[in-house]
């Protein structure tokens, strides 16, 4: 019975642990085995491992894409749920990137391979998940220290149990021997050993299913201790793309006339503000008139001729240099500057027509991310190289607590260090090369998935979907995982603290009850199963992390 119960418990334990590791096996199963190469105008079926960088791969409707690459021909919708967690397919056409292991829709695609084998995104994700699930969290050190003393302590307690009952209590040898064996059997270092890794495996799998990659187990624990989160502005909180917010014609000029003149001048410019004005006009079906004698005045604007009129579109300084009177809009320009908006002034034949205001647009979900972080109790700080009024305006829109403005890229890590010197546990969220030093310096670096490879290599957490709300989700998952680890350790300790004295015969003098070795073995087995099962319940508790 003893052997049967122990083996039964081990079987239950292995099954439960197997469920905890399902995420990694599912990832490995996503890899495509075959690929269709286009060679000399013909098609050739080969193992996916034979594809080389630069090869052209045919992706038929319904096929799983075998490599990372760029579409060179065709159009389709690709199911990228494996990468992003989003259920809606993403439209792909020539020039768009595709990711290996995603599934092609109804169209035919020809893809040029850019990353193969171990270099593909899926392989990188597999390595990160395996590393995270095999890593030890700092809290595991406590369990390891206890476990190192556990076995010799239990052996000593078993000998004391036998000695006490056989020599001091004058009980039969078999009675004392059974109790000593029960002490050895019921003691469960396995529960202590399983408490942390099983929770880490489930927590990292839950994060992966939501497009959040934790690089190490320690990150899942440390992220729950964050006090301050620093955000890079452009590309992280904002899209980096300007949008028209205000059209301000002077008295006697219509908004349509102002926009039409502005788009005629700006259609020839490659400046981001000019592109934003042209895009806005296109949404309103405003047709740009042809212009002549175009001259771009570096960093200030455009001068051109429209229907015989000399048109200027650019900065306040440029119009001032050309003697254009702008006092009619002074109050409005001051207001827009206070809101952190950029302005393009337009004049024709020496007369001011008006101004167009533009602003960097916040990313979808940025406001929600900041709100959730505040609800958790974290302080949020935006780090930006913009002028302070512009940075403050964005911060007010998003609800951010503090702003570090006019910061040079090299100084971002100094900002991180300053907060750390105040005793804060600091997280840094960024996406660019210039964010990499700060990501490395922070206690937890969080890299946006659409950012540079340098940022993603440096970050401790990667947000695959590039959704800034995932910053809050990652912290919430970390907190839930750490809570589950603490629960596991608590019950593992309590089980041994209560179980060993009962097995030693503590209840016998009062109730005449002893614990047989075979039932002690069953209790030991179920203690491990209960710890693993408690970890698996983390999947249900994280459902509220929407």
pLDDT band at residue 156 using 50, 70 and 90 as cut-offs: very high
Percent of the chain scoring above 70 in pLDDT: 85
Query: What is d(CA 63, CA 77) in angstroms, rounded to the nearest whole number?
Result: 12
Query: What is d(CA 89, CA 76) in angstroms, rounded to the nearest whole number?
Result: 9
The enclosing H or E element of 303 equals: strand 301-306
Sorted by sequence, the CB contacts under 8 Å of residue 467 that are 6+ apart come out as 211, 365
pLDDT in tens, 87-137: 557 888 899 999 888 889 878 999 999 988 878 877 776 666 666 555 555
**pLDDT score recorded for residue 475:** 93
Partners of residue 111 on adjacent β-strands: 57, 71
Residue 424 exposed, middle or buried by CB count within 10 Å (0-12, 13-18, 19+):
middle
**pLDDT score recorded for residue 518:** 83
Sorted by sequence, the CB contacts under 8 Å of residue 369 that are 6+ apart come out as 468, 469, 471, 472
Name the residue among 60, 56, 61, 62 with its Cα closest to residue 42: 56
**Strand pairing of 228-232 and 426-430?**
parallel
Which tops the pLDDT comparison, 408 or 454? 408
Task: Say which DSSP state 99 is in.
Answer: -
Look up tokens 């099962």; give the residue. Answer: 533
Q: Is the Cα torsion angle 499, 501, 506, 508 positive or negative in sign?
A: positive
Query: What is d(CA 155, CA 505) in angstroms, rounded to the nearest whole number?
Result: 16
Query: What is d(CA 257, CA 353) in angstroms, rounded to the nearest whole number?
Result: 8
**pLDDT score recorded for residue 536:** 81
Partners of residue 358 on adjacent β-strands: 244, 342
State the average pLDDT for the chain.
Answer: 84
Query: What is d(CA 364, CA 262) in angstroms, rounded to the nearest whole number?
Result: 28
Which tops the pLDDT comparison, 144 or 341? 341
pLDDT in tens, 288-302: 888 998 888 766 889
**pLDDT score recorded for residue 260:** 93
**pLDDT score recorded for residue 58:** 93
Question: At residue 12, does pLDDT exceed 60?
Answer: no
**pLDDT score recorded for residue 117:** 81
**pLDDT score recorded for residue 2:** 46
For the ranges 142-151, 352-361, 408-417, the one whose mean pLDDT is highest: 352-361
Query: What is d(CA 534, CA 317) in angstroms, rounded to the nearest whole number?
Result: 66
Query: What is d(CA 121, CA 111) in angstroms, rounded to the nearest whole number?
Result: 16
Query: What is d(CA 315, CA 529) in angstroms, rounded to the nearest whole number?
Result: 70
Does this model's pTM top 0.85?
A: no
Query: What is d(CA 271, CA 301) in angstroms, rounded to the nearest whole number?
Result: 9
Residue 342 near residue 242, CB atoms below 8 Å: yes
Look up tokens 């098609």; give the residue. Answer: 43
Question: At residue 459, does pLDDT exceed 80?
Answer: no
Q: Would you please indicate which residues are annotated as catalytic (active-site) residues?
A: 232
Question: At residue 208, does pLDDT exceed 70?
Answer: yes
Tell me the angle at which helices 189-209 and 2-20 cross, rounded to the nearest 10 degrees.
Answer: 20
Which tops the pLDDT comparison, 345 or 529? 345
CA 488 to chain centroid, in Å, comes to: 26
pLDDT band at residue 53 using 50, 70 and 90 as cut-offs: very high
Question: At residue 5, does pLDDT exceed 50?
Answer: no
Average pLDDT over residues 312-316: 91
Name the residue among 190, 191, 192, 182 with its Cα closest to residue 499: 182
**pLDDT score recorded for residue 134:** 56
pLDDT band at residue 544 using 50, 70 and 90 as cut-offs: low
pLDDT band at residue 368 using 50, 70 and 90 as cut-offs: very high
**pLDDT score recorded for residue 187:** 85
Look up tokens 């698996």; give the residue. Answer: 536
**pLDDT score recorded for residue 140:** 64
**pLDDT score recorded for residue 57:** 94
Query: What is d(CA 198, CA 133) in angstroms, rounded to the nearest whole number?
Result: 8
The three-state secondary structure class of 164 is helix
Least confident of 34-48, 181-195, 306-320, 379-393: 181-195
Residue 337 exposed, middle or buried by CB count within 10 Å (0-12, 13-18, 19+):
middle
**pLDDT score recorded for residue 543:** 67
Sequential DSSP letters for 348-363: ETTEEEEEEEEEEEEP
The enclosing H or E element of 510 equals: helix 508-511
């Amino acid at each position: 019975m003893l052997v049967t119960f122990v083996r039964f418990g081990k079987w239950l334990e292995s099954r439960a642990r197997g469920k905890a590791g399902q995420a990694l096996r599912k990832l490995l199963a996503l890899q495509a085995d075959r690929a269709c190469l286009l060679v000399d105008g013909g098609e050739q079926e080969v193992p996916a491992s034979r594809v080389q960088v630069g090869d052209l791969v045919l992706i038929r409707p319904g096929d799983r894409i075998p490599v990372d690459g760029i579409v060179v021909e065709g159009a389709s919708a690709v199911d990228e749920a494996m990468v992003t967690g989003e259920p809606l397919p993403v439209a792909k056409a020539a020039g768009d990137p595709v990711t290996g292991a995603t599934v092609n829709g109804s169209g035919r695609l020809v893809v040029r391979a850019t990353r193969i084998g171990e270099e593909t995104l899926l392989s990188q994700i597999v390595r990160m998940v395996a590393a995270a699930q095999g890593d030890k969290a700092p809290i595991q050190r406590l369990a390891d220290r206890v476990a190192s003393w556990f076995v010799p302590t239990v052996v000593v307690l078993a000998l004391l149990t036998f000695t006490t009952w056989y020599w001091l209590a004058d009980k039969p040898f078999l009675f004392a021997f059974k109790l000593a064996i029960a002490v050895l059997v019921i003691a469960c270092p396995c529960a202590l050993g399983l408490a942390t890794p099983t929770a880490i495996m489930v927590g990292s799998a839950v994060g992966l299913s939501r497009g959040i990659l934790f690089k190490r187990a320690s990150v899942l624990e440390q992220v729950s201790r964050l006090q301050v989160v620093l955000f890079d502005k452009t590309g992280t909180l904002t899209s980096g793309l300007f949008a028209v917010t205000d059209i301000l014609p002077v008295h006697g000029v219509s908004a349509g006339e102002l926009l039409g003149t502005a788009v005629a001048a700006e259609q020839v410019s490659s400046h981001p503000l000019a592109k934003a004005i042209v895009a806005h006009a296109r949404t309103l079906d405003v047709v740009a008139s042809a212009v002549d004698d175009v001259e771009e005045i570096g960093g200030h604007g455009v001068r051109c001729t429209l229907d015989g009129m000399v048109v200027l579109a650019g900065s306040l300084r440029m119009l001032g240099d050309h003697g254009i009177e702008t006092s009619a809009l002074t109050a409005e320009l001051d207001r827009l500057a206070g809101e952190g908006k950029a302005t393009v002034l337009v004049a024709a034949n020496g007369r001011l027509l008006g101004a167009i205001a533009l602003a960097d647009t916040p990313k979808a979900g940025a406001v929600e991310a900041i709100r959730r972080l505040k609800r958790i109790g974290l302080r949020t700080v935006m780090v930006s190289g913009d002028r302070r009024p512009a940075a403050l305006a964005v911060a007010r829109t998003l609800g951010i607590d503090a702003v570090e403005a006019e910061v040079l890229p090299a100084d971002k890590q100094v900002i991180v260090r300053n907060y750390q010197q105040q005793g804060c546990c600091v997280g840094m969220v960024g996406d660019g090369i210039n964010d990499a030093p700060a990501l490395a310096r922070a206690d937890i670096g969080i890299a946006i998935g659409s950012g540079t490879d340098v940022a993603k290599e440096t970050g401790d957490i990667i947000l695959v979907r590039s959704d800034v709300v995932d910053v809050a989700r990652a912290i919430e998952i970390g907190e839930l995982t750490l809570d589950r680890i603490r629960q596991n350790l608590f019950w593992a300790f309590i089980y041994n603290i209560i179980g060993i004295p009962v097995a030693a015969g503590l209840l016998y003098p009062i109730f005449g009850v002893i614990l047989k070795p075979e039932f002690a073995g069953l209790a030991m087995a179920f203690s491990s199963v209960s710890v693993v099962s408690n970890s698996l319940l983390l999947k249900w508790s994280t459902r509220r992390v929407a």
